[in-house]
C-alpha cells in the first residue's frame, strides 16, 4: 500500500508493562505479568518496531500513547467501596464539556452521551511506576512524541483523541493538524478498548485510518468484544492491513 508519508503518522497505542505478559527486562530482572495483561500483548511490539524504523526514515511521524493514571483513579475498582473488577458504574458527562465540544466540532457525527458507562479495572498504569513504563522491547528512539491520557482522576480515557466523555479533547488532533497529517496507521493495545476508541475517533475526525492487523491484541472482556470491535471499526471505514504491506 502506497502512502504519502509526509502526511502520515503511526500511532503506537499503550505498549506498557501493565498490558503485557511477564518477561525478562533489559536489566536482567524478571518483570511480572501486568495487572491488565493482554494475552500475547507483547507480540505487537516487533512489527511496530520494524514499521516505526522504516517509516521514520521516510518522514512519517511516530507517536506513542501512554495510559497514565493517578493512584486513586476513578477507573480502578479499588477506588470504590463495595465494587469489584468488571463492575460498571455510570458517570454523568458535564453539560459544559458537551456544549464546548459541539461549539468546537459542529460537523462531527456521533452524538456525545449524557451518561457514560465506566468498567472498573484492576489498578494499572499508575504514573511513574514500572507498570506504566513502556515495555523494554519497544524501540522508543523512533518515537517523535508521547501522548499521555487518563491522568485526570475523575475521567478515564481510552482514546488518544478524546476522554471517555467523548467530548474532552487531548492535544493529539491539534498536533496532527499542524503537521498536515491526514492518514493514521494505528496499532497496539488493546484492540477492543484503547485501539478501538482511537480508531473510531480517528475516523470521526476525518482521517484515513489504517489498523495494523498483525500489531493489535485485545482484552476480550466481555468475551466477544474483540470481534465486535473489529467489525465496528471495519463498518465505520477502517482499513485493516498487515504492517508488511505498508511500503
- Vertex 205 angle, CA 180 and 224, to 5°: 130
Q: Could you say which of 14, 67, 156, 214 is catalytic?
A: 14
CB of 154 to Zn ion, least distance (A): 13
Helices (H), the chain: 45-57, 95-104, 172-178, 194-204, 225-235
Cα(170)–Cα(216) distance, integer angstroms: 22
Chain residues in the site for Zn ion (CB under 5 A): 67, 150
Cα(103)–Cα(97) distance, integer angstroms: 10
Cα(42)–Cα(180) distance, integer angstroms: 31
Tell me the helices (H) and strands (E) count for the chain, helix number first. 5, 10
Q: Which is nearer to Zn ion, 15 or 55 (CB)?
A: 15
Q: Which is nearer to Zn ion, 148 or 204 (CB)?
A: 148
CB of 187 to Zn ion, least distance (A): 18
Q: Could you say which of 20, 60, 167, 194 is catalytic?
A: 194
CB of 2 to Zn ion, least distance (A): 36
Q: Which is nearer to Zn ion, 88 or 239 (CB)?
A: 88
Active site residue 144: no
Residues 121/34, Cβ–Cβ less than 8 Å: no
- DSSP state letters, 7-36: GEEEEEE--BGGGS--EE-TTSPEEPPPTT
**Could you identify the residue written with the cell 471505514?**
237
CB of 244 to Zn ion, least distance (A): 30
Q: Which is nearer to Zn ion, 160 or 183 (CB)?
A: 160
Active site residue 20: no
Active site residue 26: no
Q: How far is CA 174 from the centre of its chain?
A: 17
Q: Could you say which of 149, 156, 167, 214 is catalytic?
A: 149
Q: Which is nearer to Zn ion, 125 or 181 (CB)?
A: 125
Nearest residue to Zn ion, using CB?
Answer: 67
CB of 124 to Zn ion, least distance (A): 6
SS3 (DSSP) at 128: coil
Residues belonging to the active site: 14, 149, 194
Amino acid at each position: 500500500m502506497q502512502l504519502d508519508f509526509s502526511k502520515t503518522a503511526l500511532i503506537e497505542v499503550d505498549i506498557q508493562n501493565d498490558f503485557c505478559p511477564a518477561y525478562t527486562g533489559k536489566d536482567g530482572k524478571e518483570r511480572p505479568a501486568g495487572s491488565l495483561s493482554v494475552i500475547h500483548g507483547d507480540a505487537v511490539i516487533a512489527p511496530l518496531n520494524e514499521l516505526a524504523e522504516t517509516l521514520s526514515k521516510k518522514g512519517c511521524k511516530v507517536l506513542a500513547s501512554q495510559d497514565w493514571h493517578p493512584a486513586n483513579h476513578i477507573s480502578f475498582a479499588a477506588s470504590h467501596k463495595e465494587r469489584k473488577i468488571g463492575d460498571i458504574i455510570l458517570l454523568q458527562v458535564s453539560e459544559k464539556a458537551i456544549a464546548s465540544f459541539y461549539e468546537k466540532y459542529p460537523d462531527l457525527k456521533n452524538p456525545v452521551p449524557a451518561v457514560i458507562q465506566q468498567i472498573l479495572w484492576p489498578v494499572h498504569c499508575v504514573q511513574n511506576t514500572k507498570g506504566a513504563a513502556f515495555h523494554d522491547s519497544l524501540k522508543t528512539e523512533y518515537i517523535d512524541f508521547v501522548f499521555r491520557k487518563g491522568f485526570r482522576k475523575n475521567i478515564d480515557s481510552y482514546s488518544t483523541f478524546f476522554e471517555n466523555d467523548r467530548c474532552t479533547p487531548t492535544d493529539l488532533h491539534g498536533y496532527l493538524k499542524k503537521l498536515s497529517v491526514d492518514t493514521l496507521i494505528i496499532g497496539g493495545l488493546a484492540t477492543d478498548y484503547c485501539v478501538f476508541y482511537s480508531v473510531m475517533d480517528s475516523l470521526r475526525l476525518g482521517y484515513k485510518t489504517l489498523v495494523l492487523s498483525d500489531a493489535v491484541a485485545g482484552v476480550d472482556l466481555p468475551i466477544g468484544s474483540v470481534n465486535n470491535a473489529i467489525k465496528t471499526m471495519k463498518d465505520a471505514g477502517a482499513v485493516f492491513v498487515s504492517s508488511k504491506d505498508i511500503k
